[in-house]
Amino acid sequence: MAKTEVAIIGSGHIGTDLMVKILRLSDRLTLSAMIGIDPESEGLAAARRLGVPTSHEGVSGLRRMPGFERIRLVFDATSAGAHRANADALAGDDITLVDLTPAAIGPFVVPAVNLDTHIGARNVNMVTCGGQATIPIVAAISRVAKVHYAEIVASIASKSAGPGTRANIDEFTDTTARGLERIGGATRGKAIIVLNPAEPPLIMRDSVICLCDPADREALVASVDRMVAEVQAHVPGYRLKHALQVEPVEAGLFEGAPAGLKVSAFLEIEGAGHHLPRYAGNLDIMTSAALATGERIAAARHREMAQ
Annotated catalytic residues are: 129
Annotated binding-site residue? 114: no
Annotated binding-site residue? 48: no
Q: Are the C-beta atoms of 192 and 109 separated by less than 8 Å? A: no
For the chain, give the longest Cα–Cα distance: 64
Annotated binding-site residue? 164: yes
Annotated binding-site residue? 166: yes
SS3 213: coil
Annotated binding-site residue? 162: yes
Annotated binding-site residue? 184: no
SS3 101: coil
Q: Are the C-beta atoms of 237 and 286 separated by less than 8 Å? A: no
Instruction: Classify the phi-psi angles of 105: left when phi > 0, otherwise alpha if psi is within -120 to 50, otherwise beta.
Output: alpha
Residues 6+ apart with CB under 8 A from 177: 189, 190, 191
φ and ψ of 305, to 5 deg: -65, -30
Annotated binding-site residue? 161: yes
Annotated binding-site residue? 299: no
Report how far Cα 104 is from the mean position of its chain's Cα atoms. 12
Per the omega criterion (within 30 degrees of 0), is the bond before 200 cis?
Answer: yes
The type of residue at 217 is R
Annotated binding-site ranges for NAD(+): 160-168, 282
